[in-house]
Amino acid sequence: MRYVLLLLAVALTLNIHAQKVAYEDDLVTVDGQPYCKLAKTNCKLGLCDYHVATLDGAEIIFIKAMDYNDRDKVSSSNPNDRVLYFDWTFLGSGGKAETDQVSAKNLAKAMVDARLLKDGALDATGERNFIAINGTRHTNRQEQLGLPVIIIQR
């Protein structure tokens, strides 16, 4: 019984400090306060690219939906060996990172968790840490597979 009560106390403590991240109508909010803008663009077959902007409209990140085929990823739920991921480009620095394909709400949560914005602007430390943690593993995997890596200049 003590073990159950201890687990309950820990769970309640964690929930008290958890931030509520929401995404609706191109706006990301944290605990009900506006955080940044996250706008979908170029949607094809359910895959969308995203523009991230500060609340005053300055674009800071472009997130592009990408894919490639990897025979090692064949499974009953993925018979076509397709790997979906997001390529993040930080527009000020040109820094790059890649994350697995997720929903817009999960993108919003990833930005908040990484503390990418501070005082309404892109935080250089948050950006540097995000890039270091996420890296470019999908590009590296494509090179390993001998697939052409296409870099799109915008």
- pLDDT value at residue 5: 44
**Mean pLDDT in residue range 109-126:** 95
Which residues sit opposite 51 in a β-bridge? Answer: 39, 62
Number of alpha carbons in the 13 Å side-chain half-sphere of residue 130: 26
Q: Which helix (H) or strand (E) holds 131?
A: helix 124-134
3-12 pLDDT, tens digit per residue, is: 544 454 555 4
pLDDT per residue as tens digits for the range 44-54 = 887 899 999 99
**pLDDT tens, 64-95?**
999 888 777 666 665 677 788 899 999 999 99
Question: Would you say 122 and 114 are in contact if contact means Cβ atoms under 8 Å apart?
Answer: no
Residue with tokens 């309404």, as numbered in its chain: 120
Integer Cα distance of 80 and 58 in angstroms: 39
Banded model confidence at residue 14, pLDDT cuts 50, 70, 90: very low
Phi, psi of 70 (to 5 degrees): -135, 110
Of 68, 63, 60, nearest to 40 by C-alpha is: 63
